[in-house]
Every structure is written in structure tokens, then in C-alpha cells.
């Protein structure tokens, strides 16, 4: 038996850039969209970000950016809100396991900035955003969207129906 040590993504600047390139092209291609790009200020922000959710968080940020900014060049001002919302990521569970202190710090900063925060409303908005992004990226293929979201197809149908009723 042997141990393999993999450093956290936050310590691997070159890997963050390579993964960004891979995922932005992959998801844009999957959705038949032009990939987004980052200007110098956004690239610096990307490289400085610590990615508490590791690769899963990075991937989910790329999905959101592809959905919102296809074919556009993003500045640091446009990128920053996406990085500041790491609590949205599907990688929340692993992020908690790996770095619960970072999550606690992030949640505390968010709660201090937001007045009238409502967790139920925020979770519903995040869920709806991810479902819409997955459906767009898979061009409406529910099975592929469910796989992308890490849930089964019937669960996705149920959640879409529930969100439809709430509107």
C-alpha cells in the first residue's frame, strides 16, 4: 500500500488555468456556444482565488460563466460575484469535509453583507439557477442534465415541477 498526496487546487496556479481552459471550452462546445474568456484582471482574480470546493467548484463556476457570459470577455468585476458565491456549488459537501473553517468564514462574510437574508429563498434560487444552467448546457436533455447535477432523472423532474409550481 502507498499514499498519494494531492495538493489542494488553491496551491496549484497552473492547474487552475489549465482546468479553466478545459472546462470553458468543454461546456461551451456541449451547449454549442462560444466560450467566455477572462481579461487580465479577471485572470489574476481567478489565479488568486482559493477554491474551497476544489475542482468541483471550479467546474461549476465554469458552467455558470458559460451560461451567463457565452462568447464574452469577463472583467474582474463580472467574475468576482461568481467566486464570492462558493456556497452555491455542488461541491459544498466535499468543501465542508476538506475545509470547514473556510466555509464558516465565507458564510460569515456573506451573512454580514446581506441584510434580510432568507436561506430558503436563497437555496431555491441556487437550485433553480443550476437546473436552468444544466438544461441549457444539455440542450434540454433531462437525463444528461440530471447526470451533470449529480442527481437522478426522476429527482430532477420532481424539482423542476416543484419550482414551476412556486412561480
| Average pLDDT along the chain | 84
- On the 0-12 / 13-18 / 19+ scale of CB atoms within 10 A, 24 is buried
In the three-class reduction of DSSP (H, G, I as helix; E, B as strand; rest coil), residue 150 is classed as coil
The C-alpha cell at 25 is: 471550452
Tell me the pTM: 0.54
- Report the phi/psi class of residue 140: left, alpha or beta, with left for phi > 0 and alpha for psi in -120 to 50: left
Q: Give the model confidence (pLDDT) of 96-155 as tens digits.
A: 555 677 777 777 877 877 777 788 888 888 898 899 889 989 989 999 999 999 999 999
Chain segment 57-96, per-residue pLDDT in tens: 899 899 989 988 999 999 998 898 888 544 444 444 444 5
Domains of the chain are 10-117 (1.10.8.60), 118-167 (1.10.10.60)
Amino acid at each position: 500500500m502507498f499514499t498519494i498526496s494531492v495538493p489542494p487546487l488553491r496551491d496549484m496556479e497552473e492547474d487552475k488555468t489549465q482546468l479553466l481552459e478545459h472546462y470553458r471550452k468543454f461546456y461551451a462546445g456541449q451547449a454549442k456556444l462560444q466560450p467566455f474568456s477572462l481579461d487580465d484582471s479577471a485572470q489574476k482574480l481567478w489565479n488568486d482565488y482559493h477554491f474551497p470546493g476544489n475542482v468541483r467548484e471550479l467546474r461549476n463556476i465554469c458552467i455558470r460563466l458559460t451560461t451567463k457570459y457565452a462568447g464574452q470577455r469577463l472583467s474582474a468585476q463580472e467574475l468576482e460575484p461568481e467566486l464570492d458565491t462558493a456556497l452555491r456549488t455542488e461541491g459544498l459537501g466535499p468543501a465542508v469535509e476538506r475545509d470547514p473553517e473556510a466555509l464558516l468564514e465565507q458564510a460569515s462574510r456573506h451573512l454580514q453583507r446581506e441584510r434580510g437574508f432568507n436561506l430558503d429563498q436563497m437555496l431555491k434560487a441556487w437550485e433553480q439557477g443550476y437546473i436552468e444552467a444544466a438544461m441549457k448546457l444539455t440542450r434540454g436533455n433531462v437525463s444528461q442534465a440530471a447526470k451533470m447535477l449529480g442527481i437522478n432523472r426522476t429527482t430532477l423532474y420532481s424539482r423542476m415541477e416543484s419550482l414551476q409550481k412556486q412561480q
